Amino acid sequence: MATETPPPVTPGTTLPTAEEFTQVQQSADFAELRRAHRSFAFPLTIAFIAWYLLYVLLSSYADGFMGTRVVGNLNVALVLGLAQFLTTFLIAWWYARHAAAELDPRAAAVKSRMESAE
């Protein structure tokens, strides 16, 4: 297992202590950052897993439905399978927008407060 090297420290700066990290972790700003992340990530994760399991269950137990032709040789199974890829990309795009608008500013505030305490 490779060990990570710590980031370089510029002369005249000090690294935060464990107590300072604990104080930031217990702050209201950090709690709000975690809440904003969890309130977005957890419901979407659960919804996507449910959507994926629905697809797997339909593929396993609903052969007739999944084999139904939609257009030409395209059947329901292929359309839903491709929709899995589409939803993956949509969720990633949506999360990137959410992170840029909600999480990044809060994280920057926590970081700047941590750096200013030095």
Q: Is residue 9 part of a domain?
A: no
Q: Whole-model pTM?
A: 0.76
Q: How confident is the model at residue 115 (pLDDT cuts 50, 70, 90)?
A: confident
Tokens in use for 75?
Answer: 């059947």
Residues 75-98 have pLDDT tens digits of: 999 999 999 999 999 999 999 999
Cα separation, 20 vs 89, whole angstroms: 38
Q: Please indicate, yes or no, if residue 44 is contained in any of the structural domains.
A: yes
Over residues 27-32, mean pLDDT: 92
**Residue 100 resides in a domain:** yes
Residue 55: inside a domain: yes
Q: Containing domain of residue 68, as a range?
A: 21-116
Say how many domains are in the chain.
1
Whether 4 is covered by a domain: the verdict is no
Average pLDDT rounded to a whole number, residues 23-28:
90
Sign for the pseudo-dihedral over CA of 37, 40, 42, 48: negative
Residue 5: inside a domain, yes or no? no
Kindly report the number of other CB atoms within 10 A of residue 55's CB atom.
Answer: 16
